[in-house]
Amino acid sequence: MAIYGYANVSSSSQSLVIQQEALERSGCDVIRSEKATGTKLDGRPELETIIQFARPGDAITVTRIDRLARSVRDLASIVARLEAKNVSLRVLEQPIDTSSAAGRCFLQMLGVFAEFETAIRRERQLEGVAKAKAEGVYKGRKPTIDAERIRALDAQGIGASAIAKELKVSRASVYRLLQGSDLHPRAEEPRG
C-alpha cells in the first residue's frame, strides 16, 4: 500500500512548505504539490497524476479538505473516482478516512461546510469591494495594457494581431480596447 500526499495552494504568493512538512510527518511515500485554484479539478495536473497512479489499497492524503476541493460537487467527483479505484482519502486536520463509513459521512458534511465558507468569503469580498468603490477608495486593478500605445500602433495601420504580438497581450484585448474607442474604423471592415 502506498500513501500519496497532495499539497495545494491557490496563489503563487502562498507557501506549500507547511502542508508538505505535515504530509511528510504523516508518512506519505510520495508528495505532489502545485499552486492552482482548488475550485475545480481542471488545471491541477499533479492531483490528476496522483489519482491516475494510485492503485487499489493506496491512500491519498491532504492536510485539509479545502486543499483538495472547494465545492461539494468536485469533492464528490474526486471521492467517487477514488472509491471506484478502491483508493481511500485521508485528511490530516479533520478526522476523515474514507476507508470507513464514519469517515465518508464526515467528509460529506465537511464538504458542505467548505463550500458554504467559500461562498461566504466571496460575498464578503464583493461587499468590501462595493463599499470601497462607493467611498472612492477602490479603483480596480491597474491597467496592464498600454491603451495609448495600442491606439498609436492602430493609427499607423498596424493590425490587431501584430499589435497583440508586439505588446504581448491577447488579440481580444486589443480588439476590445479599439472597439471601445472611435479610433478604429477597420474593426467593422470585412477581410479581403
Q: How many Å apart are CA 88 and CA 61, to the nearest integer?
A: 9
Assess whether 10 carries a catalytic annotation: yes
Whole-number Å distance between alpha carbons of 181 and 140: 20
> CA 26, CA 33: separation in Å to the nearest integer?
16
Q: Which of 10, 26, 33, 173 is catalytic?
A: 10
Phi, psi (rounded to 5 degrees) for 62: -130, 160
Alpha carbon 25 to chain centroid distance? 26
What is the distance between the alpha carbons of residues 178 and 147, in angstroms, rounded to a whole number?
9
Give per-residue burial for 33-71: e unless 16+ CB within 10 Å, then b.
bbbbebeebeebebbeebbeebeeebbbbbbbbbbbbbb
Contact 177, 168 (CB under 8 A): no
Catalytic residues: 10
